[in-house]
Amino acid sequence: MIPLRFTELDSEKGSLLFVADSGRAFLGSSDFLERYVADNLSNRERGYLSLFDYNDGPAAIGQLFELARRHHVRSSPNYFILVPTLRCDLDCSYCQVSRVNQDSGGHDWNDQTTESAIRLIQDLAPTNVKLEFQGGEPSLRLDLIEQVMNRLEQAGKKLDVVICTNLNTVGEAMLRLMDRGNVSISTSIDGAVARQARQRTREKTAAHRVYRNFQILRERYGAERLSAIATVDLEDPPSYEEITDTYRDLGLDTVFIRPINYQGFARKRHASSRDADAAWLAYYTGLVDYLISHGNGISDFYTTHLLKRIFQAGANGHTDLRNPAYMGTDFLVIDYDGRLFPTDEARMLDRIGEADFSLGDVFEGIDEERRALLNQTAFNEADPDCQHCPFQPYCGTDIIDTISRYGRLDLPRGETSFCRTHFGLFSHIFQLLSDDAIEAKTTLSQWLGLPQPPRQFLERLT
């Protein structure tokens, strides 16, 4: 009998979700579950399940191919987060990177670090490379960004560059970089001007300047080269209207919201963020429902990614949610001091002295022994709590977040914020996928990039 994981979706209707190892899913009844457990299925039901069976026949090839695509992660880095400076010209209340003041010394790449970082990328990366400049505030060292780009392009690399900036200042040096055509901007827009001032800029004049700079860049380069993320303080969350109206006014058609991350300064200033997953789940799913019901053409980034994890085997590019969650393979962070980290959150955790997840440095290269040690927990199939979870094929692991919140890794997975949040998110999405309402099917189809809604997202076997 083919192994199936299952969970209840609708207690009133007795609707259950069944998921195979490959991630293929269907809906069934409690009566079907009883027949399945008793090995008393009808011929029709056995014939249907043979489509999911990877043990025999031609279906085995397709099944194994889907499993392989779900588990494929590049073995060499093609995505680098670069931190040329830890200095910043703002003082956001929830700063997760523990930035230092703009006039602080000793927190920028020096000549040796810059040269070694360039050489490391040249040696490790393929021809096509994505660079994401973080900080601090990377626009304080646009000279280093330009130097890195020039050297790598001279070495034959084809670059896709993102500068993560607060947009407090946009000058000629920034515009020259944007004029190159392969540079885009990612910034933080938390809501209307008053909220932006309260959480980030400290004054409305500076908040207005951020919005004005965004509009300047949009008019000059188009909205497709700009993106924004909203950080939500769950003790004072913006209304859904505030978020969507703000992003629509900026010319954006996608929102990407996140809760305050329990990292950096937020650990003291927003201590409640450590155990806020229930409040976050309620707020976030409410936003998704709002976007669906209002049909305003704005999509949600993370729900779209979760949908791709469900329907598109191989959607492994988002390092926050994938399986295996390999560290230091296709993705590397180069910190301001030249040390290497597997994720941005790992360098944040190191910054406050909580745990050292570094993987070497740009001078000596990757520490293979430390990388192998970190990757012992890369597969969620090896976790006893994940083995029976219906969402295991779509989910992942995040040991950095677990260490950050609880200081230990031996907690049962179901007691972690990562698990509780993603179980709730996937449950909500599958409830939407099982909904026959045309507005839900239409919106989710648009987010998936489908030409038209399917008759149904999930087949029903009753």
pLDDT digits (tens, 9 = 90+) for 190-208: 999 999 999 998 899 999 9
Type of residue numbered 19: V
Q: 288 φ, ψ to 5°?
A: -60, -45
pTM score above 0.85: yes
Dmax (CA) of the chain: 74
CA atoms of 113 and 176, how far apart (whole Å): 24
Q: Is 378 or 222 the better-scoring residue by pLDDT? A: 222
pLDDT digits (tens, 9 = 90+) for 295-306: 678 999 999 999
CA atoms of 7 and 21, how far apart (whole Å): 14
Q: How confident is the model at residue 99 (pLDDT cuts 50, 70, 90)?
A: confident
- Bridge partners of 231, per DSSP, are 258
The count of other CB atoms within 10 Å of the CB of residue 282 is: 11
Considering the chain, what is the average pLDDT of its residues? 91
CA atoms of 169 and 162, how far apart (whole Å): 16
Q: Is 434 or 48 the better-scoring residue by pLDDT? A: 434
Predicted local confidence at residue 296, as pLDDT: 78
**How many alpha carbons lie under 13 Å from residue 177 in its C-beta half-sphere?**
26
Instruction: Give the pLDDT mean for 160-165.
Output: 98
79-82 β-sheet, strand order? 257-259, 226-232, 183-188, 158-164, 128-133, 79-82, 331-334, 340-341
pLDDT digits (tens, 9 = 90+) for 402-456: 998 999 888 999 999 999 999 999 999 999 999 888 999 999 999 999 999 999 9
Class of the CATH-defined domain 79-370 = alpha beta
- Bridge partners of 186, per DSSP, are 164, 227
Asked if 169 contacts 89 with a C-beta cutoff of 8 angstroms, the reply is yes
Q: Is 70 or 204 the better-scoring residue by pLDDT? A: 204
Predicted local confidence at residue 61, as pLDDT: 63
pLDDT digits (tens, 9 = 90+) for 282-329: 999 999 999 999 867 899 999 999 999 999 877 777 777 888 888 898
Predicted local confidence at residue 13, as pLDDT: 72
Q: 87 φ, ψ to 5°?
A: -75, 150
Predicted local confidence at residue 270, as pLDDT: 82
**Most confidently predicted of 10-19, 52-61, 338-347:** 338-347
DSSP state of 236: S
Least confident of 175-184, 214-223, 381-390: 381-390
CA atoms of 281 and 193, how far apart (whole Å): 25
Predicted local confidence at residue 201, as pLDDT: 86
SS3 8: strand
Distances (CA, A) of 439 to 290, 296, 383, 426: 11, 11, 37, 19
At residue 456's C-alpha, the angle toward residues 452 and 460, to 5°, is: 165
Predicted local confidence at residue 272, as pLDDT: 82
Domain extents for the chain?
79-370
Report which of 224, 152, 129 is spatially closest to residue 181, judged by C-alpha positions: 224
**Is pLDDT above 60 for 383?**
yes
CA atoms of 348 and 266, how far apart (whole Å): 11
Predicted local confidence at residue 271, as pLDDT: 82
**Is pLDDT above 60 for 54?**
no
Predicted local confidence at residue 52, as pLDDT: 64
